[in-house]
Amino acid sequence: MARLDACSYCGLPVRLAGDRRHPGRGVVDQLVFAAPRADGLPNLGVLHRFCNQVSRTGRPGCGRILRRAWLGWATEQFEARGWERRYGFRHYDRLGLHPGRVASPRLYRKYWRIRKMRCASRACDYYSA
């Protein structure tokens, strides 16, 4: 069997060492969307711990960039605090940006898009290094 090191959910490389609570640490999971192998055994995929949690919630319409942004934001939060904190998915949808704290409410979508791309690029930098 080939060595699987890319996350089946977001496509970024998976870290297999380090703190077990880290959102980017790899877990092996049977993927629901993957077809079984020719020998009848399930396809096992490697997922980031965070992507595994998100995939189990069944969130529809979640594109790859947003999944990477979620992973980048979760990693940034984990490393800034040095411990695991459970955030609701509403916070993940916002990527830590609160509409009430934006100077003008009509600029919220613009700030959110910028934050989404920043978090996604940080995830790419962090997990590809």
pLDDT tier at 2, thresholds 50, 70, 90: very low
Rounded average pLDDT over 1-23? 77
Q: How far is CA 100 from CA 7, 64, 68, in A?
A: 34, 27, 25
**Amino acid 19: pLDDT:** 82
Q: Which two tokens stand for residue 105?
A: 């409410």
Would the pTM of this model clear 0.85, i.e. be above it?
A: no
CA distances from 63 to 16, 21, 105, 116 (A): 24, 25, 25, 12
For the stretch 87-101, pLDDT in tens is 555 666 778 888 888
Q: How many CB atoms lie within 10 A of CB 109?
A: 11
Task: State yes or no: pLDDT of 120 exceeds 90.
Answer: yes
CB within 8 Å of 47: residues ≥ 6 apart: 7, 8, 9, 14, 26, 27, 28, 29, 55
Question: Per-residue pLDDT tens for 17-74?
Answer: 878 888 888 887 766 555 666 676 666 778 888 888 777 776 666 778 888 898 898 8
